[in-house]
Structure 1
Amino acid sequence: MSGDKIIRDPIYYDIHIKDSEMSLIDTLEFQRLRNIKQTGLTYMVYPSATHTRFEHSIGAMHIAGEVSKGLKGVDCDLIRIAALLHDIGHPPFSHSLEIRGYNHEYYTRKIVKKMDIENYSPREVIDVLQYKGPEGSLIGGDIDIDRIDYLLRDSYHTGVAYGSIDYNRLIKCIVLFEDNKPKLGILEKGVVAAESLLIARYQMYSSVYMHPTSRISETMLKNAVIYGIEEGLFEVRDLSKMDDIDLISILRDSEGESNKLIKMLDRRKLFKNVLVVRYNELSPYEKWILINLGEEEIRRIEEELSEKFNTTVFLDIPPYPKISEHRITVLAGERRYRLDEISPLAKNLKWAYMKSWDVRLYSPPDRYKELREKIDSTKLKEILLQFRDRCMESPILDILRREDRIRGRGKLLSIVKERGLSESEFLNELQKLIFSGLIREEVVKVRGIYRYDYSALEG
């Protein structure tokens, strides 16, 4: 390590950088990340949240190296490089602008494919980024290095008293085991440290990532960019080469709706929240429809409401919370458990996540008082009915309605695969159905092991 360069970091203090890694950091593609904010427009609420994807990527590389030191069969250098490059395809303002089919993972692979990486081929790095091999499990597992760094870093830069993780203890308890393929888990003695990760993420989710003002600001920015694309200012793929400064400059110099919205953001003249529909106020069918709506369908709903009230209205449907940490495998001797099987905290936090999710409707500030008295959830729910037939298609739900109850996730997966769903599609749809309340997942203890049973619920 004596010949390494050192980057000073507020979270980990000294981060050692090898020459091979420095050559990647110094590329134009990676330097672009200096001007892409990690948490989008969160700085509209927390002024110091101006940290970027640049330092997060370096921090993720550091955590990857620390974790891999204790894992046999893991190429430490390869996982550090993959972690360093894992966000290189992000659009300006990070996840705020994953719109019109933009997928940062796709553009990351596209950029990495053209990079000159010392000692490794681009294909080897891309395989890790696609979660292949033991190194891939560190990037995309139930507990991954990306999440550890962004929680610590976002907490530090927002200044909130959340996001505290006993990460030194946690990374020492991470182990690699075989379960058809290499998979990450934790030792039983690391359960409390894993719970600290759960608590940190829940608190950051509810108080920072889902803050009402951040959501309004990002909805306005997202629509300004959509208008910009429709006005011919740029194409979706151009976002992979732009940073925050490029994008804002183009929108400020434009005319039309995109310019109006960005000027409002510049003056912090934000849209107002005229309607909140909370998780418990929606039926399972309504929740299922909402989380399955595509961008064009959301646009149709906005246009219908905008025409009715003669003003611009934006509908904000956040992604449903994917709470994969609750599935962390805990190794206790010869037995394996899911974290939420043995941790009451993990089990209860799962439901707390769901119930903190809501749908919001925004209007221009000068129409706020008027529309707040006119708009209620009834009109929105009536509009949703027109999408019911298309959105209600679900192979898993069809199977459970026919079978009444299926004992064991493996059995349900095997039946679903016969219907043409892959394992990843199965897990994604299963999560959405559980979130919506259309199916029930029950944990049953059978001869010392846990089994997951599934049944359909009436909507």
Structure 2
Amino acid sequence: MPKLKIIRDPIHKDIKLNEEEISIVDTPEVQRLRNIKQTGLTCLVYPSANHSRFEHSIGTMHVAGEIAKNLENIDTELTKIVALLHDIGHSPFSHTLEVEGYSHEEFTREKIKKMDFTNYSPKEILEVYSSKGIEGSLIHGDVDADRMDYLVRDSHHTGVAYGTIDIPRLIRSIVIIEDSNKLGISEKGRNTVESLLTARYQMYPTVYMHPASRISETMIKNATLDAIHDKIFKLEDLSEMDDIDLISTLRNSEGTPKEIIKRIDKRKLFKNITTLRYSDLSPKERWTLINLSESSKHRLETEISEFYETRIFLDIPKPPKMVEHRITVLMDDKKYRLDEISPLAESLKNAYKKSWSMMIYLESETFNKMPELLKDGNKFLFKFIENTPIKNPILDVLNEHGTVQGVTKLSNLVKKSANDPEFHLELQKLIFCGLVTKKIEPVRGTFRYDYKSIYTES
């Protein structure tokens, strides 16, 4: 009789683990996740948000297994192991410290290569982890086990009421799309996916982008960057550290890193002097800001800080990812993207845009002494931004050809594969900033996406 262990989970209740899963849970790579907070420094706003990447990983493993059991020709056990390991490359405080090119996916791959498994090789696990096929889509796809777990778990631990999703019904609605080797949902699951979209949108400003969380996470990010630049530790060391290691190292350092972590310890946070909302910025200004490199942003912060003789941090979040909107829905034996048939999904994309904002933070001691900043806060930043032209191959193609019909044609003109994730990321950023428009055109019972540039460099 195989040995089983039952973990009691507040979200999924009893989660059963077999011998190999237990042995993987007990590895240092997974145990390290016990001391990495799932939601960064959100606990400074929601005191009970102390849940970890460890419990999220076990929850993701459980959900991935439940989905896999309902699908044909899926290796359920392999899928569960990959789901269990999907976050082992995270730095302390999770996504907060993905700085200077740090990629938790790359460090996850490197860790898996060095691990020993009973029934699978590291190569087999990595093939699924990196796959865009069915097993990989279960863990990091349009609607995946990762997202299903963290929304409900984060809602539970923060105490907000926005993350409620009918996970069992959503699991039952997931199907394999014939001839595409991808996952989609049946028509009966459409409303459940829409509830997931709504929950995620509501959690976005309430939890993930809460102003106090953003300030504290910007502070610890800058403390960490200063520590790396001061050679206190290396960027790659973050893949072995947990929250406790990092906090201890910063507390025992000297200079700026130590000062900032002391402020966080005492909750003596920087103050927000101005908020630049999506509608306050031109498309070019949005593009310039979201494409600032870490070094350029640091140089800009230094210039502004020296000019005003106080320390200033810029908080420029990445554009929100909205991958759930593109999941395939099967209706009347036809395939549609969710945002083609769901007015709610389409409207939420615009709502996400409008909820994006960047913030400028100032040391609390000088907050009340800076009337010149507060008086015209939404303009002073751009005195320091160089007026450089936008150089982008997608924009160049669209400016040359006018409206381009279909993403495949556009990718060919840009000389990129239609499946290239970097091409799609760049295109989505252009659309997000308002430099490119995307129009959905019905064509013979399906839909085509037409793209047009609305920006030319004068």
Give the TM-score taking structure 2 as reference length.
Answer: 0.96
Q: Give deviations 1:55-83, integer Å, cap 9, x for gaps.
A: 00000000000001111121100110000
Q: Distance in 1 between matches of 2:201 and 2:192?
A: 15
Residue 436 of structure 2: aligned partner: 439
Which stretch shows the higher mean deviation, 441-450 or 32-41? 441-450
**Residue from 412, 415, 434 that aligns with 1:414:** 412
Q: Secondary structure at the match of 1:190?
A: helix
* Structure 2, gaps ≥5 residues long: none
Retained in 2: the 8 A contact 1:131–1:139? no
Q: Distance in 2 between matches of 1:447 and 1:146?
A: 36
Retained in 1: the 8 A contact 2:304–2:384? no
How far off its partner does 1:419 sit?
5.7
Retained in 2: the 8 A contact 1:41–1:93? yes
- 1:55-454 matches, cutoff 5 A: 55-178=55-178, 181-375=180-374, 376-386=377-387, 388-389=388-389, 392-416=390-414, 418=415, 423-454=420-451
* Structure 1, gaps ≥5 residues long: none
How far off its partner does 1:370 sit?
2.4
Q: Secondary structure at the match of 1:441?
A: strand
Retained in 1: the 8 A contact 2:407–2:418? no
Retained in 1: the 8 A contact 2:218–2:313? yes
**Alignment-mate amino acid for residue 272 of structure 1:** K
Q: Secondary structure at the match of 1:384?
A: coil
Percent identity between the two aligned chains: 56
How far off its partner does 1:98 sit?
0.7
Q: Secondary structure at the match of 1:46?
A: coil
Residue 20 of structure 1: aligned partner: 20
Retained in 2: the 8 A contact 1:286–1:384? no
Q: Distance in 2 between matches of 1:178 and 1:317?
A: 41
Number of residue pairs matched by the alignment: 454
Is 1:456 matched with 2:456?
A: no
Q: Distance in 1 between matches of 2:351 and 2:113?
A: 41
RMSD, aligned CA: 1.5
In structure 2, relative to structure 1, the CA distance for the partners of 1:372 and 1:87 (3 Å cut) is farther
Residue 43 of structure 2: aligned partner: 43
Q: Give deviations 1:36-70, integer Å, cap 9, x for gaps.
A: 00000000000000000000000000000000111
Retained in 1: the 8 A contact 2:373–2:380? no
**Alignment-mate amino acid for residue 45 of structure 2:** V
**Alignment-mate amino acid for residue 410 of structure 1:** T
**Alignment-mate amino acid for residue 193 of structure 2:** A
Q: Give deviations 1:225-244, integer Å, cap 9, x for gaps.
A: 11111222111111111111
Q: Secondary structure at the match of 1:117?
A: coil
Q: Distance in 2 between matches of 1:27 and 1:419?
A: 41
Q: Give deviations 1:282-330, integer Å, cap 9, x for gaps.
A: 1011111111111001011101100110011100001110101111110
**Alignment-mate amino acid for residue 94 of structure 2:** S
Q: Distance in 1 between matches of 2:445 and 2:231?
A: 62
Runs (4 or more) in structure 1 with deviation over 3 Å come to 419-422
Retained in 2: the 8 A contact 1:173–1:187? yes
Q: Secondary structure at the match of 2:177?
A: strand
**Alignment-mate amino acid for residue 277 of structure 1:** L
Q: Distance in 2 between matches of 1:216 and 1:57?
A: 27
**Alignment-mate amino acid for residue 28 of structure 2:** L
Retained in 2: the 8 A contact 1:274–1:372? no
